[in-house]
Structure 1
Amino acid sequence: MSKKPMISHHVASGAAGLRHVFVRDLELQALIGIYDHEKVQPQRIIVNIDLSVNEGAGPKDDDIGHVVSYEIVVKKVEAIIAAGHINLVETLCEKIAASCLTDRRVAAARVRVEKPDIIPNARSVGVEIERLR
């Protein structure tokens, strides 16, 4: 029985057989928050995703179907947002991480969701989580 490598950070690793797939600063409008106005007025969020992906044999025949596609990851996030209001940033992070981990090649998902327009004297506030397979 082989021991799984510990994932201490999300970078490509030849030794661990991991590819790093990421989405940086995805800006979306979302119905998110616990206050009444946040339930009816979309607000800007920024999403960052880091995935540790088991490489396997790599892309076969230069075919997108053989890799974890960042375009599909973005579409999953957009679908979660489009599904309707979410109270907590924590919940949104969990939903995004869970959707990424449905692909068996994804060993770990780190998700950060920021609300940049909430606290006037802060660039942004938010939550970051990491979930492992």
Structure 2
Amino acid sequence: MADSVLIEGLVVETVVGVFDWEREVTQALVVDLEMAWDNRIPGASDDVADALDYAAVSERTEQCLKGLKPKLLEHGAEVLAEVLRREFGIGWLRVTLRKPGAVPAARSVGVCIERGGR
């Protein structure tokens, strides 16, 4: 199955970073998710109950990262991937976390991980 559900550019304000000053402020993380999902069923039924609830996934993503307050983007991505796979029954996903402004000469820095099997 090659179907997927996308959430792109989800902005989450949270504590993130390793420096002392970063632990005292919130900063924006930009989250992109690609999640394997069999879209044939909701495509045929036209019933929202058959679809992956991207509003619920977005809300859970925000809750996870705000509660986690990761020092490293790598840690945030790993924990988020595990939470989403477990709670939503997602077999495979790609998580991209970006931290805008972390390096002055770059638009953002980030990590991208894939977990599970397609």
Q: TM-score, normalised by structure 1?
A: 0.78
What residue is the counterpart of 1:78 in the other structure? 62
| Consecutive unaligned residues in structure 1, runs of 5 or more | 1-15
Distance apart, 1:126 and its partner CA? 0.9
Larger helix proportion of the pair:
2
What displacement does 1:84 show?
Answer: 4.4
Number of equivalenced pairs: 115
1:107 and 1:53 map into 2 onto residues whose CA distance is 8
Give the C-alpha shift of residue 54 in structure 1. 3.2
Structure 2: give runs of 5+ residues left out of the alignment.
Answer: none
Structure 1 stretches of 4+ with a deviation exceeding 6 A read none
Aligned with residue 91 of structure 2, among 93, 102, 107:
107
State the partner residue of 1:58.
41
Distance in 2 between the 1:85 and 1:108 partners? Answer: 24
Instruction: State the alpha-carbon separation in 1 of the partners of residues 92 and 68 from structure 2.
Output: 26
Residues 1:118 and 2:85 are matched in the alignment: no
2:68 and 2:99 mapped to 1: Cα distance?
Answer: 17
Match in the other structure for 1:38: 22
Counterpart-to-counterpart distance in 2, 1:97 and 1:116:
21
Residue aligned with 1:83, SS: helix
Q: What's the offset of the Cα at 1:71? A: 0.8
- Find the aligned partners of 1:127 and 1:82 in 2 and give their Cα distance: 18
Q: What do you get for the CA RMSD once the two structures are aligned?
A: 1.7
